[in-house]
Amino acid sequence: MDSTNFTQDELDGSLQSGENQAIKKNDQEELFHIFTYSENQYREIKIKEADEIDDLRDSQSITWINVDGICQENILTKIGSKFGIHHLVLEDILDTTQRPKVEDYENYLYIVVKMIYSQNQSDEIISEQVSLILGDKFVISFQEEKKGDVFEEIRNRIRLGRGRLRKAGADYLVYALLDAIVDNYFLMVEQIGDQLEELEDELVDHPSSKILPRIHFLKRNMIFFRTSIWPMREVIGSLERREFPFIEKSTVVYLRDIYDHITQLIDTIETDRELISSMIDIYLSSINNRLNEVMKVLTMIATIFMPLSFIAGIYGMNFRFMPELYWKWGYAITLFTMGGIALIMLFFFKKKKWL
């Protein structure tokens, strides 16, 4: 067990080094990342065994336990019994296909949400289930995978004592975690919006058959986001209405802020969906228009050359008695007639606006 324990005064100047220190000492297998903090001090520890947690809590501070990679059932069971968590909740934490929801138990509040982010500026979108247990002066967050998260900024706020976070209660920490998650949704949804706009321009300028699968792909992503975001609205809504005892009154205004953000996200997604359905209309009509154009070319060619070939065919017949064949200007007249027919056809197409 390695711990970093500072008072606020020591810390202010030396965050960077302190953080490095913490990271260097810890190895891969440290699944528990624990913060205990109060207004004036904080402690940051990474440990391997759930048993060590007990020593860290005290009645003054707020404890935030972040558990990465919730694959090991026995670890979960240990924590569960330590904090008195219902076995159904533990099952839900393990089952990473949960729908976002909030559930009230006697001693704690259980919240499941989806964290969506892309790491290292790559295109790959990672969706992780995050389960939060909000109890009396503690928060436990369970992450599906060890890859990373969107909470680094919150950790820094605890370390630096920036903002309200160190002064406020555990419910404010839950707010901060949820806010970080929702803010990342915005990034994702904006990314989709940008891609949509790009596709829209391309659709008007040079529509190709490759656009539809891309539209479909965006639609897919959007349906997927919506599935995560819609139930989050209910979650935040019921938190904001303070249906649960663990939410303090002063936090409500912050939760209302998240609620507004989610409503806005939903608006954006619905708008995007309408745009997509309108784009599909345009795409389909552009295909039809292209077909129309191809057919016009074919029809023009056929309409001009079929009569001409027919005339040539007539004078290619081998009848003995075809007086025109013996006229001196027969050939020339025929050629002129053909040219005339071609011109008439072109004029007809012009009038029909095919050209």
Region of 11-19, 51-59, 149-157, 284-292 interacting with a second copy (CB under 8 A): 284-292
CA distance 46 to 210: 49
Q: Which is nearer to a second copy, 24 or 353 (CB)?
A: 353
**Site membership for a second copy, residue 83 (CB under 8 A):** no
Q: Which is nearer to a second copy, 58 or 324 (CB)?
A: 324
Q: Which is nearer to a second copy, 11 or 252 (CB)?
A: 252
**Measured from the CB of residue 89, what is the shortest distance to a second copy in angstroms?**
9
CA distance 252 to 177: 15
Tokens matching residue 45: 């520890």
Three-state DSSP at 353 gives coil
**Site membership for a second copy, residue 355 (CB under 8 A):** no
Region of 13-21, 41-49, 165-173, 278-286 interacting with a second copy (CB under 8 A): 278-286
**Site membership for a second copy, residue 13 (CB under 8 A):** no
**Site membership for a second copy, residue 305 (CB under 8 A):** yes
Q: Is the dihedral of CA 241, 246, 251, 254 positive or negative?
A: negative
For residue 136, the one-letter residue type is: D
> Which strands form 41-47's sheet, in the order they lie side by side?
2-7, 41-47, 32-37, 62-67, 138-143, 126-135, 108-117, 101-104
Strands 62-67 and 126-135: unpaired
Q: Which is nearer to a second copy, 20 or 81 (CB)?
A: 81
Q: Which of 29, 156, 267, 336 binds a second copy (CB under 8 A)?
A: 267
**Site membership for a second copy, residue 146 (CB under 8 A):** no
The secondary element (H helix, E strand) that includes residue 146 is: none
Q: Which of 284, 343, 344, 355 binds a second copy (CB under 8 A)?
A: 284
